[in-house]
Structure 1
Amino acid sequence: MSFASPWWLAAGLLVLALGVGYLIAQRRRRRNTVKFANLELLDKVAPGRPGWWRHIPTALVLVGLMLLTVALAGPTAQAKEPRNRAVVMLAVDTSLSMEATDVAPNRLDAAKEAAQSFVDDLTPGVNLGIVSFAGIATVLVSPTTDRTVAKQAIDGLTLDERTATGEAIISSLQTIELFSKTLPPDGTDTGPPPARIVLMTDGKRTVGRTEQDAAQRAADAGVPVSVIAFGTDNGSITVNDEVIPVPLDTEAMQQIAQISGGDFHQAASAEELKSIYAQLGEQIGYETKERDVSKPWLIAGTMLVVLGSAAALVITARIP
C-alpha cells in the first residue's frame, strides 16, 4: 500500500500527543487527589468511580483519529482493471511449414485449438482482430468484441505457400490505425487505445518486407509485438515425395520482439502454446492501476470516534 498524500501521516503525531497528554492528565489527577483530599472522608462522600474500563472511550476515540489520519493520507493499492478499449491483432502463420507433425496432430491444428482458447479467455471488452499470412497477409476479421466471428475465422484457416511475416505485421498495424480512428472518445483517454500484435509463426520470412522493417514500424507506432515461435527444430514436411526440414527461425522472431518493444515466447507443444496464450491474455486484457482505498479507513475511523463518544456519555456522562 502507498499513499497519495503521505505528509498527512505526520498528523498521527498529534494523535499520539493527545494520548500522552491523556495519560499525564490521569496521573496528575490521581496525585492531586491523594495530596489534597482526606481519603477517609472521600470514600464516604464521593461516589465510586469506574475502574480501568473508564479509559475505553478515550482509547476508541484516539484509535479512530489515527485511522482517520491514515484516510487523509490517501492510501492506494494496486488493482487489476479490464481494458475495455484495447485492440489486439492475432496474426497466425498458415504457410506450408505449419503442416509439420512435430506437434500433434500438426502445427496448424494445434495452433487453431490454442488460438480458440485465447479468444475464449480474452477480456470481453478487448477488440480482437484476426490476420492469416502465408504468401500474403489477409485481414480475416477487423477488431471487434464479437468472439464468434473470430473463432469462425480461426476454424477456417488453411495452408498456403511462402511466408510473409513482415506483411502480417504491417497489415496488422494498418488495421489497428484504421480501427482506432473509428472509436469514439470515452472522456478519459487522451490518445489512441492501447494496442498489441500477437504473432504466431514457425519459420523464416520468404517474401515481402523484412521483419526488421515491420518491427521498426510497430515500434514507431507504439504497438509492441508479442512473438510466439511454435514448433521444434526437428519439424519437417513432405512436398512431392521430398522431405523438407522446417526448423524454427528463432533469431528473426527475437529481433521482432526486441525492436518492437514486445516479448518473445517459444512453444514446442500444444500445451505450452496454450499456456503462453493464457499469459498474454492476462497481460493484454488487464492493466494494473493505483486505486484509492481510503474509504474503509474513513468508515472505520468515523465509527470508532462515534462509538468512543457514545461510550464516554454512558460511562462518564461526558464526551472525552
Structure 2
Amino acid sequence: MTFLFPLGLLVLVPVVALAAAYLVMLRRRQRYVVRYAALPLLDKVIPERPQWRRHLPAALLLVALALTGLAVARPELPVRVPYERATIVVAIDTSESMRAQDVEPDRMTAALDAAGEFIEQLPNTFNVGVVTFAGTTTVAHPPDTDHAQARRTLQTVSTDSRTAIGEGVLTSLDQIRSVVGPGQEELPAHIVLLSDGSNTSGRSPELAAQEAAAAGVPVSTIAYGSENGTLNNGFYAIPVPVDAAALADLSEATGGRSYEAASSDELQDVYREIGSSIGWRTEQREVTPFVAGIALLVGLIAAAFSLRWFSRLI
C-alpha cells in the first residue's frame, strides 16, 4: 500500500496515544478492589456479563479512528484492470515434427484447436494475428479485430521442413508494428509462440529476443510435446523431443513467461492462463472512499454494541 498524502498518517499518533491511555486506565482499575460483606448477594444484584463486552466497543472505535487516519493519507493499492485494446500475435510452429502423435490425435491438430479457443476468449477489441513458421514464416492472418477469420485461418495450416523460431518472432514483431500507423496510438502487444523443437533455420532466437525486448514486446513460449515424441516417416521412427530450455531462454530474455504442455488438456490450460494474464495490467488506484466507508461502518457497529449492552454511545 502507498499513500498520496503520507503526512496524513500523523493523524494516527493521537489514536495510538488514545489506545495506550485506555490500556493504562484498565490497569489502574485492576488495582482497586471493592470489598462486599456478602459476595453471594453481589452475584444476585449484579448479573454476570462476559468481560469482552466491556472492551469490544472501545476496540472497534479505535479501529474506526485508525481507518479514518489511513483515509486522510489517501491510500493506494495495486489493482488489476483490463486493457481496452491490445495486439496479440499467435505464432505456431508448423514443422514436420508437429505431426508426432505423442499428443492425441497429433501435436499439430491439438495445437491448432487450442489456439482457436485461445483467440476466441480474447476481448473483442484486441487485434489478433496468426503467424506460422517452419523453414520460412507465413502471415496467416494480419492483426485485426476479426477473431472469427483468425480462427478460420488455422484450418488451412500445413507442415513443412525445418524450424525457424527466430524468424517467427521477428515476423510477429513486424505485424505488431504494422498495426501502429502514422498518428495512431501504440498499443500494448504480446507474442504467444508455440513450438516443439530447436531453431534449425533463419535468424537466431537470441537475435529475435533482443529485437522483442528493445520493442517492449514480451514473448510467452509454450514448449509442446513430450520428451519421448517420435515421428514415423513410414520406414522408421525419428525422435522429436521437445526443447523446453531454448524456449524458456527466449521468453525470459523478453520479459514473457515460459510454459510446458505434454497433452492437449495441458495446452488448453496454458492458453487459458496466458489469456487471463495478458489481457490485464496492474496500476495504482486510490481507495480512500473504501477505507473511509469501512471506518464509518466499524464506528457504527461500535456505537450499536455500546447502546445495546450499556445504554450509551461510548
What is the count of residue pairs matched by the alignment? Answer: 276
Q: Which structure's CA Rg is the greater one? A: 1
Letter of the structure 2 residue corresponding to residue 130 of structure 1: V
Mapped to 1, the partners of 2:214 and 2:192 lie a distance apart of 17
Q: Name 2:9's counterpart in structure 1.
A: 9
Matched, 1:287 2:284: no
1:147 deviation in Å? 1.8
Deviations 1:176-218 (A, max 9, x none): 1121336733xxxxxx332221110111222211222212211
Does the 8 Å contact 1:123/1:286 carry over to 2?
no
1:106 deviation in Å? 0.1
Q: Name 2:262's counterpart in structure 1.
A: 268
Q: Name 2:41's counterpart in structure 1.
A: none
Task: Tell me which of 246, 249, 254 is aligned to 1:252.
Answer: 246
Mapped to 1, the partners of 2:72 and 2:117 lie a distance apart of 45
Mapped to 2, the partners of 1:104 and 1:229 lie a distance apart of 16
**Which deviates more from structure 2 when the two are superposed, residues 253-262 or residues 294-303?**
294-303
Secondary structure (helix, strand or coil) at the match of 2:139 reads strand
Does the 8 Å contact 1:107/1:231 carry over to 2?
yes
Cα 1:209/1:64, change in 2 over 3 Å: closer
RMSD: 3.5
Q: How does 1:196-207 map to 2 (within 5 A)?
A: 196-207=190-201
Deviations 1:85-110 (A, max 9, x none): 32221100111111100000000111
Mapped to 1, the partners of 2:262 and 2:75 lie a distance apart of 45
Secondary structure (helix, strand or coil) at the match of 1:214 reads helix
1:64 deviation in Å? 7.0
Does the 8 Å contact 1:82/1:125 carry over to 2?
no
Mapped to 2, the partners of 1:155 and 1:134 lie a distance apart of 16
1:241 deviation in Å? 3.0
Matched, 1:175 2:175: yes
Letter of the structure 2 residue corresponding to residue 246 of structure 1: V
Cα 1:268/1:64, change in 2 over 3 Å: closer
Mapped to 1, the partners of 2:183 and 2:68 lie a distance apart of 42
1:11 deviation in Å? 1.8
1:60 deviation in Å? 11
Q: Name 2:91's counterpart in structure 1.
A: 91
Letter of the structure 1 residue corresponding to residue 180 of structure 2: S
Letter of the structure 2 residue corresponding to residue 227 of structure 1: T
Letter of the structure 2 residue corresponding to residue 207 of structure 1: S
Q: How does 1:188-203 map to 2 (within 5 A)?
A: 192-203=186-197
Mapped to 1, the partners of 2:62 and 2:234 lie a distance apart of 86
Matched, 1:216 2:210: yes
Deviations 1:255-313 (A, max 9, x none): 322333322221111111111111211221111222211113445667979xx9xxxxx
Q: Name 1:105's counterpart in structure 2.
A: 105
Identity of matched residues, %: 39
Task: Tell me which of 233, 236, 240 is aligned to 2:227.
Answer: 233
Q: Name 2:56's counterpart in structure 1.
A: none
Does the 8 Å contact 1:199/1:228 carry over to 2?
yes
Cα 1:163/1:183, change in 2 over 3 Å: farther
Q: Name 2:147's counterpart in structure 1.
A: 147
Q: Name 1:37's counterpart in structure 2.
A: none
Unmatched 5+ stretches in structure 2:
22-58, 304-310
Letter of the structure 2 residue corresponding to residue 77 of structure 1: L
